[in-house]
A and B are shown apart, each in its own frame.
Chain A
């Protein structure tokens, strides 16, 4: 496997935004921290929130760099091959002039570098995001949080997802819990691929159902077993979610009722399993964590 980790990886995803992915990921991570050595990877690099829900400041920042072409005008023959090969439209070729690079559009793929016969392109770098590594102190134990954060204004997201995932895997010792972004594109694929299990967090609305279906289909095409958590139970009927779960042979392993207590723990930056360990929903989170801990 590319990522080089054979066991112990669970990815929390779901398609729709705001279904509770991060809440569930951090609570499970904290819940099993006593018995397992947990790395939590926040790969929602566009809107990373795990550190906020854990009430901590991020530490140990590293830049995510991607290649950007620099043209050596003494060698460039103005052939335009670089502009032609560039899929991102990041190289302009004004007639009779030297190529002009638009940094924001450049995806760092290096096709121009390999295409240029005059060897007129050298490799510079652009910082598109950052990764962080923060030890989260939980009293008697701790977890390691690795966070990816896209730089504001950058549109190429995937590199920061990959860099944060790599860093999390470098830290990996026993269990890795991955928290993904909303959506169903390559940023989510890269985050969840090669995990042992996918935890799809959804809500009982047609929107939740629609996006859950996309995720279950993606999981099935990637050959990864998916489990379903229905969050905010009570805000709408869940029968269609149960149907789609059956269709994809994905087990519904937990149902979490909608509760303002979850919202307040969310606001206070203390995971519910710590803020109110005996709250019924905290117990559900703990059970979920234990379930995962047994599978991984």
Chain B
């Protein structure tokens, strides 16, 4: 089983387009593939594939939310003071739990001198499965309870589902969220490699460096795709230079192509509706290279591109009584 996380730091650079295309092309050339949409806050992979119904939708209720019993509450405010998430506030003389930002950690219940606060189970979101898409591979996806915490836990959960469906020769493709926080860490944790997607802009480059340092914390090899490279060919050099210095394998470039958004509005994969479009050709080449260079050559590729210098996550800790 090989698990590939497609990530970028920055949003809207083409992660989902690359991840879905890769899944389709690999499946067509005979690989056993599972696609996992690892963005529970803005899950979009199913839309690209034109999927509008699920074989299975499960509730994932691993979450809590605090609830105040106002017959016991003496409005002392201890709950608001203790909440690390600032989810308790005073509204018209009464302490109110913000049901969106409450993490359900129990702290307010523990500090309440009147034992007026309980926590109740709250749904963290939904897990959704299509067992067999048109291309034969399963799609697993999650949808976070709106505005709530725990998207990282949902991503971990869909990865578990993907792994339970996988055989030893399965390629799991994870379409990660934007950012570098809980969802993305959940996606990268335990992954075999990362495909990093960037566009040639300073903003995307900044986010690329951030996501890459997280990939390095996990000690996994990375490959790079530069999307919309023709928007700013000069800046491509800057990114390539970084990739070379950092021992990131450069998988290829994809041009800006308005067939990409057009295919989105058809809700059909780009490579199928516009196979002759320049982006389709570039992505197809990219997938072939991915197959030849990485999958068929896995052990060697991994050895070559795994970061040599360990760069593990080191927390900055301030001991009690230290400044």
Do these two chains really belong together in a complex? yes
A interface residues, Cβ below 8 angstroms from B: 1-2, 15-19, 22, 44-47, 49, 52-53, 63, 65-68, 70, 85, 87, 103-104, 107-111, 114-115, 122-127, 150-159, 162, 181-190, 193, 203-207, 210-211, 214, 217-218, 221-222, 232, 235-237, 260, 263-264, 266-267, 269
Q: Is the CB of A263 within 8 A of B100?
A: no
Q: Is the CB of B42 within 8 A of A52?
A: no
Cβ-defined partner of A16 (8 Å) among B11, B89, B106, B206: B11
Q: Nearest Cβ distance between residue B23 and chain A, in whole angstroms?
A: 17
Q: Please judge, given known A-B contacts A109-B103, A185-B147, whether A52 and B206 are in contact too, CB under 8 Å.
A: yes
Question: Which B residues between 158 and 186 are near A, CB-CB below 8 angstroms?
Answer: 177-186
The docked-state distance in angstroms from the alpha carbon of A154 to that of B316 is 10
Q: Is the CB of B11 within 8 A of A18?
A: yes
Q: Nearest Cβ distance between residue A92 and chain B, in whole angstroms?
A: 16
Cβ-defined partner of B210 (8 Å) among A108, A127, A152: A152
The docked-state distance in angstroms from the alpha carbon of A260 to that of B231 is 8
Cβ-defined partner of B201 (8 Å) among A63, A110, A181, A266: A266
Answer yes or no: B267 CB below 8 A from chain A CBs.
yes
Q: Is the CB of B147 within 8 A of A184?
A: yes
Cβ-defined partner of B144 (8 Å) among A126, A184, A193: A184
Q: Please judge, given known A-B contacts A87-B104, A87-B106, A181-B179, whether A47 and B318 are in contact too, CB under 8 Å.
A: no
Q: A154-B181, A206-B265, A207-B42 are in contact. List 8 more A-B contacts (CB 8 A).
A: A2-B89, A46-B179, A47-B180, A47-B206, A107-B84, A152-B213, A183-B177, A206-B47
Q: Nearest Cβ distance between residue A126 and chain B, in whole angstroms?
A: 5
Size category of the B interface is 35 or more
The docked-state distance in angstroms from the alpha carbon of A190 to that of B101 is 7
Answer yes or no: B151 CB below 8 A from chain A CBs.
yes
Cβ-defined partner of A110 (8 Å) among B107, B144, B319: B107
| Interface window among B244-252, B256-264, B284-292 | B256-264
Q: Is the CB of B147 within 8 A of A218?
A: yes
Chain A residues positioned under 8 Å from B182 (CB to CB): 155-157
Chain A residues positioned under 8 Å from B144 (CB to CB): 184-185
Answer yes or no: B310 CB below 8 A from chain A CBs.
no
Q: Is the CB of B317 within 8 A of A103?
A: yes
CB nearest to A205 among chain B residues: B264
Q: Is the CB of A47 within 8 A of B10?
A: yes
Q: Nearest Cβ distance between residue A98 and chain B, in whole angstroms?
A: 16
Q: Please judge, given known A-B contacts A46-B9, A107-B84, A189-B101, whether A207 and B264 are in contact too, CB under 8 Å.
A: yes
Q: Please judge, given known A-B contacts A19-B12, A70-B320, A221-B146, whether A184 and B41 are in contact too, CB under 8 Å.
A: yes
Chain B residues positioned under 8 Å from A123 (CB to CB): 320
Chain A residues positioned under 8 Å from B217 (CB to CB): 152-153
> What are 26 of the A-B contact pairs (CB < 8 Å)?
A1-B91, A16-B42, A17-B13, A19-B11, A70-B319, A85-B106, A87-B104, A103-B315, A108-B84, A114-B111, A124-B319, A126-B316, A127-B318, A152-B210, A153-B185, A155-B181, A162-B85, A184-B42, A187-B181, A193-B98, A206-B264, A207-B47, A210-B44, A260-B231, A263-B231, A267-B202
Q: Nearest Cβ distance between residue B61 and chain A, in whole angstroms?
A: 13
Q: Please judge, given known A-B contacts A109-B105, A126-B317, whether A52 and B202 are in contact too, CB under 8 Å.
A: yes
Q: Is the CB of A185 within 8 A of B82?
A: no
Answer yes or no: B221 CB below 8 A from chain A CBs.
no
Chain A residues positioned under 8 Å from B179 (CB to CB): 44, 46-47, 157, 181-183
B interface residues, Cβ below 8 angstroms from A: 9-13, 16, 39-42, 44, 47-48, 64, 82, 84-86, 89-91, 98, 100-101, 103-107, 110-111, 144, 146-152, 177-186, 200-203, 206-207, 210, 213-214, 217, 231-232, 235, 258, 261-262, 264-265, 267, 313, 315-320, 322
Chain A residues positioned under 8 Å from B149 (CB to CB): 158, 185-186
The docked-state distance in angstroms from the alpha carbon of A115 to that of B110 is 7
Cβ-defined partner of A15 (8 Å) among B42, B231, B235, B264: B42
The docked-state distance in angstroms from the alpha carbon of A230 to that of B28 is 36
Chain B residues positioned under 8 Å from A203 (CB to CB): 261
Q: Is the CB of A124 within 8 A of B207?
A: no
The docked-state distance in angstroms from the alpha carbon of A236 to that of B268 is 13
Chain B residues positioned under 8 Å from A157 (CB to CB): 179, 181-182
Q: Please judge, given known A-B contacts A125-B318, A184-B146, whether A17 and B178 are in contact too, CB under 8 Å.
A: yes
The docked-state distance in angstroms from the alpha carbon of A218 to that of B41 is 12
Cβ-defined partner of B202 (8 Å) among A45, A158, A159, A269: A269
Most buried by A among B48, B185, B217: B185
Chain A residues positioned under 8 Å from B13 (CB to CB): 17-18
The docked-state distance in angstroms from the alpha carbon of A126 to that of B320 is 11
Q: Nearest Cβ distance between residue B157 and chain A, in whole angstroms?
A: 14
